[in-house]
Structure 1
């Protein structure tokens, strides 16, 4: 078996790993990506792309191709019990991108794959799973299994673990995590957009007394609905006729918001629970963690994938300089800054979840009054900057 030599091995070929590799390749760093999945990306999954990420994508020329396909969300509207509570605009949230873009994750990944292929042909190795790491003073030896079950190996100056919340890289390093699980359960689905035409470019948040329903426009006239459900049994009972998840979600959305998505138009449904995890260390020696491998936060708010991209944007020049100079770091400032950003995003997600939980009639009235006030103040543009991740 021949051992390949590269400057940086990125483990994980999802959105964060692909972007990390593309940034490195654009800087002239020799990079390889090991991705366990052999199949092409599918599914809409994470859809939100925030202004700082769009700025970062410009470094590899991906901002314009992505925006050519994405929907630009320029406002967020809060509702409750059929009443309009207020509107948040993103026009002052960013000097470059005064909006949040939405695009199906499989399209974002495909665009990233295409860009990486243009910058570093054959660098992406799909169907390749990491099985071992051996750290040395001036390099790291990685071993794994290839698409045919054959053993593969790479000797790299650095390894980046971009392999998600169940990171094999993190486990091989013996790095633990801390955090908590939340009781909240959500169901999401993509439907043909049933909202009035005037609302179809806005993110909508309905904070009625029975629990939040969020929705976001998607390309091609679709809308993503995300609804808090009290428990699995309650969601299953939302549609007693067919029991189909798309019908159950459509029924729940209609009951809470008065808007009725067409179950026949649904292209995806998925349920998820919420947890928060932070790695005890962001890396060891020449191995560094990024994205969910380093910090997993609630999907509510749509900031997790973006945090990973911003990890990559800060890490890539550090790695490039270290490869060129022959140094190994560490970069304590990087770890401190990135985990602080993740902690802030996690706190924001917790606030979002708290605002969307079921309340009694009196509590719902108080929540509505709070949102009306917050969205009517001159400082509301500060909230838009928070939701647009201009602090990250």
Structure 2
């Protein structure tokens, strides 16, 4: 009889371990892969989620997807939402917020693209990059790595097998994570346990985040007393295909999101403080909101949490997405904020692991992204929370809010405040506090060809270094040849005019001189000024393209952006 083996689980190493393969974790993994950073994305679920869950992709998220070359895939499959329709009065009022976004983003409006399809798109792209998601792998515990160089040893952490104690997700916080130079994760997968050693770990494992519990970080906030209901409906009467609709009843408030033709829509509404079953909830929506539909595809009811982690980082472990902040789904901002968390953090980690930034720069992540989460909760959730609270006074306020919104929506969007409000909805007006010193890196998009780069004034695309360098050299050659031609022509014309003016039998004749000035020298000067401006443009283009290429080369290892 063979004795059971006591050998430790196999060990692998990576630069970044991403726990959680929702939209946030997949975005982080894909950006890291494009930047040439070795990353492993793991999740205990068997594959991409099949539920629609989050469905709205905002303008800023579309810009990020465009940088990864995925925007067109979303646009082809998504249902656009360009307007907001306010229902409940004598007639619906429609406000087109996409028009106020057209000058600020190449993706005005919102795209209705379910989370299931977002996850599938990102996971397939990540697999094509040679970094497939390790589904079916559950995080069991974490072991902080050895203390960073220069860190003060802590007396309150007993050393474990790797120099620091292994921590299970339900264990109290371990202060040694703060000074750890990396982590070691124990995973349970289809082939048994395995260990993964990583320089950094991203916890993108959802609202109940085991990583956050492991770090001992608080999740401050409240759980709303109201119950929200969500139903995917077919054959909804009066549901516009390209607009988000609001509906105000005596006791309920609802949002209707278009999912496709034929009245296919998602209804999110406040039911009250009780936990209803499907029939009870839908009957109330029909009676109070006047919603009529043919069939129900799915239904769920839940309480809404408004919470933010006390910190987004502890040492080499960082939180992103729902693991760091959760809030009401009404504004359609949750998945978008997670995608932007991941995009921000992945680029930052890539710069650090590749030596472009010092590790101290990692403090920027919490300093910049946590205020965004706090503002989102304060503005969006509390504003809607005021409307959804029960009581006669709030019911009166809901009816007045409908009337006020119907009057003000068009006026505000048409005013100077319209672009600002539209920018908040699109999430491209998030601003970070400036740093004392630093350079602004150009935004980069995967090369889309010369003509799109040349004539796209959104500045999301740039021409390649090779082509802009060709323009640069060509402009110099043309300018040099033209200068030589003008010098030769000027000398010959000068000699001819001089001979004609001073030796001609007719005496001095100013006509050749005037003609030479008007049709020779003046156009020459104008053309040379134009060439000079063209050269300056070419130089600026080359510099921009060179800066951009540094990102693009790193983002496409092995392919380059010649």
The answer to whether TM tops 0.5 is yes
Richer in strand (by share): 1
**1:180 Cα shift?**
1.1
Partner residue of 2:107? Answer: 97
1:191 paired residue number: 233
CA contact (8 A) 1:139 1:156 kept: yes
Answer whether contact 2:321 2:337 (CA < 8 A) is retained. yes
**Higher share of residues assigned helix:** 2
* Equivalent position to 1:7, from 1, 9, 15: 15
Equivalent pair of 1:88/1:375 in contact (CA under 8 Å): no
Counterpart for residue 351 of structure 1? 383
After TM superposition, the structure 1 = structure 2 runs for residues 87-126 of structure 1, keeping only pairs within 5 Å, are 87-93=95-101, 94-122=104-132, 124-126=133-135
SS at match of 1:301: coil
Write the mapping of 1:1-392 to structure 2, written as runs, cut at 5 A: 1-85=9-93, 87-93=95-101, 94-122=104-132, 124-136=133-145, 137=148, 138-148=181-191, 150-196=192-238, 199-219=240-260, 221=262, 222-232=264-274, 235-236=276-277, 245=278, 247-262=279-294, 265-325=295-355, 327-347=358-378, 348-357=380-389, 359=392, 362-377=396-411, 378=415, 379-392=417-430
- For normalisation by structure 2, the TM-score amounts to 0.64
- Give distance in 2, aligned partners of 1:139 and 1:368: 53
TM-score (norm 1): 0.90
Q: Which runs of 5+ in 2 are unaligned?
A: 1-8, 149-180, 431-562
Partner Cα separation in structure 2 for residue 214 and residue 367 of structure 1: 14
Contact 2:24/2:335, CA 8 A, preserved across alignment: yes
Distance in 2 (alpha carbons) for counterparts of 1:85 and 1:357: 24
Counterpart of 1:144 in 2: which secondary structure?
A: strand
Distance 1:220 1:142 in 2: 46
How far apart are the structure 1 equivalents of 2:48 and 2:323? 22
Residue 226 to residue 120, structure 1, CA distance change in 2 (3 Å):
same
Tell me the distance in 2 between the aligned counterparts of 1:365 and 1:71: 30
Q: Which moved more, 1:7-16 or 1:173-182?
A: 173-182
Structure with the bigger RCO (C-alpha within 8 Å, sep 6+) is 1
What's the CA shift for 1:330?
5.0
How far apart, in 2, do the equivalents of 1:74 and 1:18 lie?
27
Per-residue deviation, residues 221-267 of structure 1 (Å, max 9, x unmatched): 4100011001336x44xxxxxxxx1x4444333223323112xx321
Q: CA 1:86–1:121 in structure 2 vs 1: closer, same or farther (change >3 Å)?
A: closer
Gaps of 5+ in 1: 237-244
Alpha-carbon offset, residue 200 of structure 1: 2.4
* More deviation, 209-218/82-91: 82-91
